Amino acid sequence: MLSGSYGVKHRTDVEVTRTQVAIVGAGPAGLVLAHLLALRGFDSVLLEARSRHHVEHRVRAGVLEHPTVQLLCEIGAGERLRREGLEHGGISLRFDRADHRIDFAALTGRSITVYGQQEVVKDLIAARLARGGEIFFDVDDVRLSGIDSDEPEVAFTDGGGVARILRAAVVAGCDGFHGVCRPYVPPGALRVFERDYPFAWLGILAKAAPAQEEVAYAHGDRGFALASMRSPDVTRLYLQVAPEDAIDGWSDDRIWEELNARLAVDGGAGLNEGPILERGIAAMRSFVVEPMRHGRLFLAGDAAHIVPPTGAKGMNLAVADVAVLAEALERFFATGRTDLLDGYSDRCLRRVWRAEHFSWWMTSMLHLAPGADPFERRLQLSQLRYVVSSPAASTSLAENYVGLPYGS
């Protein structure tokens, strides 16, 4: 059994700290893992390359699955989420200039919650610090060694310029798609599966009341658009654009004109426009590495897999991974047994591949591929009409969207 305590000793001018789990990355995956471990009585240290302000203001995801909301509440990070999160009982698919609602509540008995990822991150950081947990922000030069041994090390320079080493039983690579952990797996030990899409998303956050009550995914001749929200007076909107488009080429007028055209419904009032608070263009990619583990390094969240945002799955998958990892680590620390750790990757990958398929399917059904011929367009429309009219097909969309139960 490994000790839960940690001591500090000095080796020349390097501070060496012992912990049970060294967590690289304070995004949703790393932060939720730290909480799950602390609740089970295990200690961890979190390293984050960016500042606290940066991670708390990085605008990204917005849709939380039902199991994600439950887990955030269980770990004591759900108080503001329950108060300010917008619980939605469905979404709409918009095509042929009309809304077609998918009623999640009726089809699955579940709902989703619209609540910004940066708000989740703020709540998790505040709760972690309030409970006396450690987070090193602004770290630099993170290096891993000994991931094939029983005591891997993570060397880094902290925000104050002090060189440090963490000795841990396990390293959790929660450092996102561009992180440093995944490249430490030796070449040949990971298999990569990937797909790039011939379009990107231009996303804006605007100070304007949402024009619709629920998230709306629009398919049409001018391309895909998505209308979401963050609060009763902040709207989040996305447009399919070309991957090579630069944000400077999209003036405010052009963005609003295109959004209005793509999101128009017969008899609808159009969007409420307002100052654009944030804007950016994000590439769309599907990516998975197998296995999600090498020796004592466990990859979780975007460090191991990426989905295009159309299914709203990325953050939810990150949280699902670390729920599996925490359970496996508990078994290991409490009993020394490695069976759950050995099963970590296979167990996560079942959910990951379901989400990969769902996100790829939603993306293919809704976007306009450059050069798509009339045959493909007819297939998309046929699929959309089927999904909104067949109870079997809409239930399939609904159960994937609200989040399949953990372990299924």
Which of ligand PHB, ligand RFL, none does residue 325 bind to, with CB < 5 to 8 Å depending on kind? none
In whole angstroms, the minimum distance from the beta carbon of 44 to ligand PHB comes to 29
Considering the complex, state which of residue 226 and residue 326 has its C-beta at the smaller distance from ligand PHB: 226
207 a catalytic residue: no
Q: Where on the chain is the footprint of ligand RFL (CB under 6 A)? A: 24-30, 47-50, 55, 60-63, 117, 139, 142, 174-176, 179-180, 201, 203, 282, 301-302, 309, 312-316, 318
Give how many residues touch ligand PHB by CB under 6 A.
11
Residues 332 and 338: their CA atoms lie apart, in Å, by: 6
* Binding status of residue 309 toward ligand PHB by CB under 6 A: yes
Determine how many CB atoms are found less than 10 A away from the CB of residue 395. 16
Marked catalytic residue, from 88, 219, 294, 367:
88
Strands (DSSP E) contained in 60-184 are 63-64, 86-88, 90-95, 98-103, 112-114, 134-136, 140-145, 153-157, 163-167, 170-173
- At residue 196, φ and ψ (nearest 5 deg) are -100, 150
The CA–CA distances, whole Å, from 269 to 121, 211, 264, 266, 381 equal 35, 8, 8, 9, 24
Closest C-alpha among 183, 242, 188, 232 to residue 211: 232
Marked catalytic residue, from 217, 219, 294, 344:
217
* Binding status of residue 62 toward ligand PHB by CB under 6 A: yes
Residue 198 DSSP SS3: strand
Q: Are 265 and 95 in contact (CB under 8 A)?
A: no
* Binding status of residue 113 toward ligand PHB by CB under 6 A: no
Instruction: Pick out residues in 153-192 that bind ligand PHB (CB under 6 A).
Output: none
**DSSP-derived pairing of the beta strands 297-299 and 276-290:** unpaired
In whole angstroms, the minimum distance from the beta carbon of 150 to ligand RFL comes to 23
88 a catalytic residue: yes
**Which parts of 299-338 fold into alpha helices (H)?**
314-335
Name the token pair of 45: 């240290």
Using CB under 6 A, which of 68, 240, 310, 363 touches ligand PHB?
310
* Binding status of residue 27 toward ligand PHB by CB under 6 A: no
Instruction: Pick out residues in 312-331 that bind ligand PHB (CB under 6 A).
Output: 312
Residues identified as active-site: 88, 217, 309, 313, 401
Q: Which residues bind ligand PHB (CB under 6 A)?
A: 61-63, 114, 215, 226, 228, 236, 309-310, 312
